[in-house]
Structure 1
Amino acid sequence: MSQREMLHNVSRETPGWTPIAEEAERAARVLHPDRHRMPRPTHRRVLTVANQKGGVGKTTSTVNIAAALAMHGVRAMVIDLDPQGNASTALGVEHRLGTPSVYEALLGEIRLADAAVRSTASPDLLCVPATIDLAGAEIELVSMVARENRLKQALYDGSLAELGVDYVFVDCPPSLGLLTVNALVAASEVLIPIQCEYYALEGLGQLLSNIDLVRSHLNTALHVSTILLTMYDGRTKLADQVTNEVRGHFGPTVLRTVIPRSVKVSEAPGYSQTVLAYDPGSRGAMSYVDAAREIAERGARMDVPIDQDGR
């Protein structure tokens, strides 16, 4: 049963329920976040957002979920590990050449806390930007000692405690190179966005194999905790087939919320904004708030340390 069907079943038991009333309630959660605060996690969560296929909504999902959490009372941080710097752009953070960034933090030249800046999306949302320097980082990291652990060392030098964040999202490049490996070693959880199209499933096996390799040799705490279905088009049978296949294989790991195809979601980065800021009443914005709430509610139920430094 889809999330929308579940909501309808619950809502219809409420006197005076109408579809318009239900949509109005969803919009109110976006437009009035102070009245609909999300729970903080039992422990700090570090999630790597990974998928080597481009165009699946990875960066879009990263920034909008982080922004939704921050708007609803949860302190979040995005680490932009993609040399293209799209997450930095969407969060309204400066990432010109020479800006203190994740590149210098990986090389150990600055602390991660010194590169983190506040996003224009929310006072409770921080971003560690990526500059064009990051494009050459994989080559530079090859000759370094413990090259797969550079981001982990940067994260756990006390920066996270100093910044006081509840959630850290690491936005990876669309590849399975050394930067992505660093992100997988540094995190305890993986969030995989999957586009509701056939080709999006190709290569997923390779990603899961790489995650298993990292778990076996570099990070035993790593696991796929969240799968998010994106770019859902209810007019096509294929979207439903992909959705059913993914849910059937991964079960409760898949969020109930599905992100629909939305022009507003695509337009927002062009204005250096998240869709929550660009058009908070849109279906895309409301869906990302619903997805963030699911993630927050799962985090509030966790009763074991999930951050590698045990905080």
Structure 2
Amino acid sequence: MTDPGERLRTSLAADQAVGAEFDSPIAAEAMRATRVLHAADQDPFPRPGRIRVITVANQKGGVGKTTSTVNLGVALAMYGLRTLVIDLDPQGNTSTALGVEHTVGTPSIYDALVSDATLAEVTHPTTASPNLHCVPATIDLAGAEIELVSVVAREHRLRRSIEGYLDELPPEERPHYVLIDCPPSLGLLTLNALVAGDEVLIPIQCEYYALEGLGQLLSNIDLVRAHLNPGISVSTILLTMYDGRTKLADQVADEVRNHFGELVLTAVIPRNVRVSEAPGYGQSVLTYDPGSRGSTSYVEAARELAARGAQLAPASPPPPPPAQPRTAAQPAVRPAVRPVPPPPPPPPAVAALVLGESVAGPAAGGRHAP
């Protein structure tokens, strides 16, 4: 199997070779920046076979969830795919990176989860691309888990908001991708994201600490699939913060690839200071420094993500319920309307997940149409 460090060095050498006619590293970086800035003049990314609702989750903090959500969303939008990014983290870092207002009182995802606001009412445009929209998160979201405890079907609030949003839009305006950025925990907000999504993208930092909680995350995804969302699956794993100067990064990357196989994207996100600087200016790294290694790596990751999405089968509508035959002896009389009982409470395992307790179980994968 190809060494991730070798792939990164080969990619860098290829970029330098293309810019060798200028005999300058600065010229090579300018060439890479031109590619990103003029993405609209290049071939667009292929459209997915169906709308992809992807939950970006990992209960460990600092592994690149928000950074990956922002930069993948911007890359997909810049290359012609309509994208909606939902910030489900009370810290609001995704909103900051996309330059979207998220002060107290701003219409946000909190209003869609707790009150009767529709997702369309809390969706804001971004300056990164006309194809990119964002649902921001405010500090009010920190209390949403407590406020949702007594709400019926609380785990399905986000899914119903997304479905209602997509139904209201005409087909030509519906997003191709919906990316949900989760908080670094396994509470009710993350549970809502797992129920709402059809796929899970897991960013993994190339260090051993990042692998410790991965088994628990996969077990909880399996619990959600068994009890709340039978179509959820881990479809993508992205290696982030790769440091080619250390053998540790290569060892972690090899272990992840050996275990998860084709789920792992070929593109690797290197450690790059430009990626960390960009949010301070309310931008993604693609708009802040399009010629940096971080920018081109996220473009390649988004390209690979889009190529996988193009291979998905179109969503098939649910079959209609079978018609009940009537006979002459059975007149067509509408039965009395009975009140619909509330849904049963979640199983103990899922309740433990909401409370943040550790739950063990096997990991599995699957895929269904949104």
More off after superposition, 179-188 vs 18-27: 18-27
Q: Which residue of 1 aligns with 2:280?
A: 270
Distance 2:314 2:18 in 1: 38
Q: Does 1:43 align with 2:45?
A: no
Contact 2:85 2:179 in 1 (8 A): yes
With normalisation by structure 2, the TM-score equals: 0.78
Q: Does 1:29 align with 2:35?
A: yes
Contact 2:198 2:369 in 1 (8 A): no
In structure 2, the CA distance between the partners of 1:26 and 1:299, relative to structure 1 (3 Å rule), is farther
Q: Which residue of 2 aligns with 1:148?
A: 155
In structure 2, the CA distance between the partners of 1:7 and 1:283, relative to structure 1 (3 Å rule), is closer
Identity, in percent, stands at 64
User: Structure 2: which amino acid aligns with 1:203?
Assistant: G
Contact 1:188 1:306 in 2 (8 A): no
With normalisation by structure 1, the TM-score equals: 0.92
Contact 2:59 2:184 in 1 (8 A): yes
User: Structure 2: which amino acid aligns with 1:112?
Assistant: L
Q: Which residue of 1 aligns with 2:129?
A: 122
Q: Which residue of 2 aligns with 1:80?
A: 87
Q: Which residue of 2 aligns with 1:259?
A: 269
Deviation at 1:223?
0.2
Q: Does 1:195 align with 2:205?
A: yes
Distance 1:78 1:44 in 2: 13
Q: Which residue of 2 aligns with 1:218?
A: 228
Distance 1:206 1:304 in 2: 32
The C-alpha deviation readout for 1:173-225, integer Å capped at 9, x for no partner, is 00000000000000000000000011010100000000000000000100000
The runs of at least 4 consecutive aligned structure 1 residues that moved more than 6 Å come to 6-10, 22-25, 306-309
More off after superposition, 110-119 vs 1-10: 1-10
Task: List gaps (5 residues or longer) in structure 2.
Answer: 20-27, 318-366
Deviation at 1:303?
1.5
Distance 2:293 2:166 in 1: 36
User: Structure 2: which amino acid aligns with 1:20?
Assistant: A
In structure 2, the CA distance between the partners of 1:110 and 1:159, relative to structure 1 (3 Å rule), is farther
Deviation at 1:109?
1.9
Contact 1:108 1:154 in 2 (8 A): no
User: Structure 1: which amino acid aligns with 2:39?
Assistant: P
Q: How many equivalent residue pairs?
A: 307
**1:20 alignment partner, one of 6, 17, 22:** 17
In structure 2, the CA distance between the partners of 1:250 and 1:6, relative to structure 1 (3 Å rule), is same
The structure with more radius of gyration:
2
Contact 1:260 1:284 in 2 (8 A): yes
Deviation at 1:46?
0.2
Query: What is the 5 A alignment of 1:42-191?
Result: 42-159=49-166, 162=169, 164-191=174-201
Distance 2:100 2:167 in 1: 19
Distance 1:165 1:133 in 2: 26
Contact 1:192 1:227 in 2 (8 A): yes
Contact 2:238 2:265 in 1 (8 A): yes
Contact 1:111 1:159 in 2 (8 A): no
User: Structure 2: which amino acid aligns with 1:97?
Assistant: V
Distance 1:148 1:275 in 2: 33
Q: Secondary structure at the match of 1:142?
A: coil
Deviation at 1:107?
1.8
Distance 1:302 1:187 in 2: 15
Q: Secondary structure at the match of 1:110?
A: coil
Distance 2:224 2:93 in 1: 26
Contact 1:31 1:281 in 2 (8 A): no
